[in-house]
Amino acid sequence: MRRFVFLALPNFSMIAFTTAIEPLRLANRFLLKDTYSWQIISTDGQPVRASNGLQISVDGSLDDITAQSNMDERPDMVVVCSGIDVDQLETKHTKAMIRRLYRTGIAIGGLCTASWILADAGLLEDKQCAIHWENMPGFMEKFPNAHIHADLFEVDGRLYTCAGGTAALDMMLYIIAQDHDEPIINRICEQCLTDRVRSSSDRQRLPLRARLGVQNARLLSIIEMMEANISEPLALTEIAKISDLSRRQIERLFRQNLGRSPARYYSELRLDRARHLLLQSNLPIVDVAIASGFVSASHFSKCYRDQFGRSPQVERRERERAQRAATVDLASELHSEESLVAPL
């Protein structure tokens, strides 16, 4: 029997968590025996709340797992489940325990944003990994030595990471397929109402064609070029040379299909990247500006305010205020729960 342990961290993604567990349950059902087992833990053994507000009970703590010395009791894989605000979690002890488990030969998995935890624990140096596309800008700035990909999932030795959402289903099907033949995988897919097993390299996001509702191949090629050159933007003359079009032709393509100039569209892409970095990392604002292709912090602030109606400084303060409020609410809730069981 292969044993899985799911470590649920505060604000974990419920969809990634459930779509990782369900294939194991269905495999047992179709195999008519308990081939896989799983348990859910938290860092301290206390119930933990997902990002959607639902709270789940757990079977134990992270320390309980690391203390298991009997090889028959130890899990085959520990899967870290996280979600929003992963960079704000206090994870020093968690990271130390994950490193210890990995050194003992246990496989480590990460769902949704958990690659952040694994990278911060030092496990993803020169390793292939995946994370949700929304978190990629901050992750790449924070962990430049990790080989991050916009894939559904990545497997590098004993490290399994996925982008979250329904990509957790694909990663678990990949794992089950190492043990069982295709008919079992197909039956699980049918039960989950999914028509195929997606490969690890399938896109996380919709293709540009579907996302933008644009069909012009040359325009899509230019937009892909822009998205690949955010921190060091290409001049329109460079884009024209590479795409073998004139500036006037490029201007016309953008006006006709997107209703704005190429310069405006490029600026929106860079500002969108900046907003992700402000909300998902602790990079200084001047570093956010540079990573988004702005050479002047004052120019960046003006453009950001024009785009989003608030300055980068206000955006960062609002995020910090919301995080403090969430921490206070959680502490108040825990205090209320403790008071219910306190002796009279």
Query: What does each C-alpha distance from 229 to 146, 210, 234, 238 come to in angstroms?
Result: 19, 21, 7, 12
Distance CA 161, CA 16 (A): 12
* Positions in the chain whose pLDDT score sits under 50: 344
Residue 221: per-residue pLDDT: 94
Domain of 226: which CATH number? 1.10.10.60
Secondary structure, 3-state, 99-132: HHHHHCCCEEEEECCHHHHHHHCCCCCCCEEECC
Distance CA 26, CA 235 (A): 53
Same domain, 170 and 114: yes
Total structural domains within the chain:
2
Same domain, 88 and 121: yes
Same domain, 167 and 133: yes
Same domain, 96 and 230: no
Tokens of 316: 């960062």
Residue 336: per-residue pLDDT: 58
Residue 344: per-residue pLDDT: 44
Tokens of 51: 């990002």
Residue 199 lies in a domain: no
Residue 328 lies in a domain: no
What order do you get walking across the sheet with 77-81 strand by strand?
60-61, 36-42, 2-8, 77-81, 107-111, 159-162, 153-156
Domain that holds residue 178: 2-191
Reported as a single tens digit per residue, the pLDDT across 243-301 is 999 999 999 999 999 999 999 999 999 999 999 889 888 889 999 999 999 999 999 99
Residue 100 lies in a domain: yes
Task: Identify any residues that bridge with 162 across adjacent strands, giving them in sequence order.
Answer: 153
Q: Which residues contact 8 (CB under 8 A, 6 or more apart)?
A: 17, 40, 41, 42, 48, 50, 56, 58, 81
Same domain, 180 and 251: no
Residue 198: per-residue pLDDT: 86
What letter would DSSP give residue 58?
-
